[in-house]
Structures are given as C-alpha cells and as structure tokens.
Amino acid sequence: MSKRKTYTLRFILELLVVFSVIITFLIGVISSIRVNTSSLAANYLENNFHYAKKLSSNTTEVLSSMQNTLNALAVRSARQTVTHTDLQDWFAANKQFFHSIFIADTTGTILQMAPSIKGIESGTHLTSPAAKEALFLKKPVISKPYIGVTGRLIVLISAPIVNPQGEYKGFVAGSIFLEEPNVLSRMLSQHFYGDGSYMYVVDRDGRLIFHPDKARLGESVAMNPAIQKALAGESGYAEIVNSRGTSFFAGYTYEHITGWGIVSQTPTSRLDVSNQQLLQNLLATALPFLLINIIIVWLFAKHISTSLSNLALFSGDSVKSASPDGIPTTTSKIYEVQKLYQSTRLAMRQVNKRMLKLQTEVRIDELTRLFNRRMFNSTLSDRIKNKTPFSLIMLDIDHFKKINDTYGHVMGDEVLKLVAQTMLEQTREEDLCFRYGGEEFAVLIHDESQQLAYHIAERIRLSVAALEIPTHTKITLSLGIANFPLHGCNPIQLVACADLALYHSKEQGRNQTTLHPSDKSEGMQG
C-alpha cells in the first residue's frame, strides 16, 4: 500500500499567506482602477460640458458685441455720409473682430469697403446668400457660414440702414474668415491640450465650421449624437463615438444667436493612460511593503506551525504509549487542521464584527448618531436614480454660533444631540435623518406629499422650540423643503432648492418652515 502524500502545516500556512496577500493586493488594485476610471470619466464629462457652456456664452457675448458695433455704424450711416476714411477708422478700431467692413445700398452694391479685398471692392455687386438674406430681411442678421468668391469660409454679420424717415437704404456688414485668425478662433482654440482634448463647432446644418484639423472644415457630422442633441437646443454630456469611430467623453451645448452647436471632448483612451500610471504608482508604492509583509507573516507562520507540530507529536506520542495498537498515521495532521480551522473561524468572527463596526462608523455621525453626509449623498443619489418620489427637508439651528461662543463647544454638542434626538422622535420609521454638516441637518421624507413634509417639518420645529436645555435659552430652527422630481432631477439641484427655501426662512425672521419658492404655499412663522 503506497504511502499517502501529506503536507505540513507550515507549508499550508505559508501558501495561504502568500495567496491571501496577493489576492488582497489584486483586489485593491482592481478596486482602485475601477474607482479611478469612474471618477475620471465623470470629471471629463462634467468638465467638457461646463467648458462647452462657457464657450457658448463667450461666443454669444462676442457676436453680440460685433452686432452692436455694426448697428452703431448703420445708425451713423443713416444720418450722415460715411466716407472711406471714416470706414477705415471703424475697421481699425474693430479689426480684432472683422476681416473687413463694408456698406452696401439697396441693390447689394458695395459703396464703401475697408480694407479692399481682391475680387471685392467698391462698386462690386454682392450675390452671396448672406447678402441676399440681409437685403430680404432688412434686419440684423448673422449669416450661415458660406464659401465666398475668394474661396474662404465666411460668416457675414449685417445691420440694416434705415434713415430717420423709416426708409431702408441698404446695410452695413462685417465679414469673418473662419479659416483665418480672428477673435472667435483665438477664443475657441484655447481648449487644445496635450491629452488629446479639443473642441469643435458646427453650423445649423451640422457642418464643421471650426475644428483643429482645418482639412475637415465643411465636413458634415450631423449624424454625431452629440451634434444632433446640440442642434436640437439641448445641453449635456455623454460618451460618444464620432464619425471616425473614436470614442470620446463629450460635453455639448447650443449657441442660440447663430444656432451653432459647440462640442468639447476628450478621448476615452485617456483613461488607459491614467490607469497605467496608477498601476505603476501602486506597484512602486506597495511592492516593498508587500514583500516585507510576506516575510513577517512567513516568520510568524513558521513559529506557530512549529509549536503546533510539537504539540501534536507530543499528544500523538502520549496516546501511542498508552495504546501500542496505536494512532493512525494521519492523526497528527488531522489534529493540526482541526485546530487551525477552529482558530480561523474565531478570527473570521472577529473580522466580521470589526467590518460591521467599520461599516456603521462610515455611515453614522459619531456625535449625533444620525446618518452622516456620505450616507446622505448616497441615499439621495439612489432615490433619484430609482425615480422614487420624496421630499427633502433641510434645517439649520438658528444662531448656533452664538451658543458655541457663549456656552462653549461642549454645550453646543449637547444642543446638536438634542436636536438630532428630537428629529428621530418626530419622524416616521421610514423617514431618514441626517447630519448634513455643522449645525445643518436633513430629513428624507418617504412620500411625495409636500403637505406631509411640511407637517413633519413643523412638528420638528415646534418640538425643538419646546426643548429645555441647561442654558435656559430657546433653540429655534429654520427649515426649507424641496420635492423630487418637482424641484430637481439631480442631487445638486434638489439640495440647492431646499437650501433656497431654508434661506427664505432665515431671511423672513428664522424659526419657520418654507416650501420651495416655486410653490404658492409658504411657511408660517413659529
């Protein structure tokens, strides 16, 4: 009969230690990469969205300024003759905006122009779509981009000339060559970074009118989902795949004066670069400690296994001496495994208790024993994601700084605990109470009825006002209420609405509850 192969406890412990440490390290690395990926993706999306909005606002301001300049020139032209020298002075003062400025009569013939452009000069009859549009509409116009007679991509901004008698006398206009340096291109080109981020602009038909790759100007990208949403008047962000199959984190918006769509985007491949750097940093930081940990635990495992082996051999020898027909050859091995199993179970129970305690500490505010800010953010996001209607009460202790300054922070802590206890007593089991920060608290009412939320808020306010505290001072609260989905579709909007209502309570004298100002029902002073 062949001898059964066995393994020493020392070898098993060493194997388990190495395996556990490596698995723990890998789990940490994977978790870090996932968190990093999620965080960076959210940051790229939000940053690109806000940048697109900023560029849209700046573009609107620049175009409005350019339109106002031409309106002023049109008014002057209607009252007196503008000479060529006058027009040159106007152009010199505004050449950062326009590549040329001209005055045309009612037939579209150029009367004055500064500076002269090859193929276009005084006496030239304009036939471009932009000129025809200005003559037809007889009002301020920002044209669609078009190819001029010089072969350049142009936007024409015009203003009608109407004399004091109300007669239409033509128009003044300024041209912008989109492919050449101008105030718009300088402003829009500031978003080019070494990480591959860039922005671009399309006209109302979805054709590129600004892009870092000038060879693509005029190309139609109307099928791009971000462009479709922007041209529909929407603003937002999304992960998209462009017309060339490249994935981007894109923020998009709509410029309302021209109808242009503006998109700012970052390639999703930036996540791979960031995760590679993160992995390198983790390895460089953690590997020395990982090796030291393995060596230390290996030494402890050797010590423990040696002791257990000696004890098992001693017990086995004792039994054998009492009974020669003896102990099976596997007895000592089974004994060690049983002892190790019992110890492991005991250790795991302690670990589980500690994990439960840590989980509680992560969610609970240590002073008030209410849920903390982190739990508030998580709960609010989950409720909104699941589209569960609810009301949010934000409340603040009036003049709390005065309590701290007068009676000290110990008394201030007691006041916070009393308010927290009162909140728990005056809310229902399904409602959730949070310490939002400092002397500010929040309550999530598991019901879409604002009247119920107002009733609970008033119950909390009146109960707190009736509290007796050692300082014999009266505690009052100011409260504000907002409702999901009525007042906001994301956590930031909802908290801002509740804070606004809370601010109204403060502004109206404190010690009262206020529904969000969009509601007709206002809070009453306590």
Residue whose pair of structure tokens reads 């996932």 in the numeric block:
34
* Per-residue confidence band for 524, with pLDDT thresholds at 50, 70 and 90: very low
* Per-residue confidence band for 38, with pLDDT thresholds at 50, 70 and 90: confident
- What separation in angstroms does the CA of 234 have from each of 6, 59, 166? 70, 17, 39
Cα(403)–Cα(407) distance, rounded to whole angstroms? 6
CB distance 255 to 264 below 8 Å: no
Q: Which residue has the higher pLDDT, 364 or 329?
A: 364
Q: What's the topology of domain 182-269?
A: Beta-Lactamase (3.30.450)
- What separation in angstroms does the CA of 459 have from each of 356, 480, 499? 34, 14, 19
Count CB neighbours of 306 within 10 A. 13
Check if 81-177 and 182-269 are the same fold: yes
Query: Across the chain, what does the average pLDDT equal?
Result: 82
Q: Does domain 373-515 correspond to CATH entry 3.40.50.970?
A: no
What pLDDT sits at residue 346? 58
pLDDT at 322 over 50: no
What pLDDT sits at residue 288? 81
Comparing 17-26, 141-150, 403-412, which segment has the lowest mean pLDDT?
Answer: 17-26
Which residues sit opposite 396 in a β-bridge?
440, 478
SS3 at position 99: coil
What pLDDT sits at residue 327? 44
Which residues sit opposite 162 in a β-bridge?
168
- Any idea which residues carry the catalytic annotation? 439
Amino acid at 346: L
Using the 8-state DSSP alphabet, how is residue 145 labeled? P
What pLDDT sits at residue 191? 56
Quote the percentage of the chain above a pLDDT of 90: 33
pLDDT at 50 over 50: yes
What pLDDT sits at residue 350? 64
Instruction: Summarize the confidence of residues 498-512 as an average pLDDT.
Output: 95
pLDDT at 432 over 80: yes
Q: What's the topology of domain 81-177?
A: Beta-Lactamase (3.30.450)
Residue ranges covered by each domain of the chain = 81-177, 182-269, 373-515
Highest mean predicted confidence (pLDDT) among 186-200, 245-259, 300-314, 423-437: 423-437
Instruction: Summarize the confidence of residues 26-36 as an average pLDDT.
Output: 83
pLDDT at 227 over 60: yes
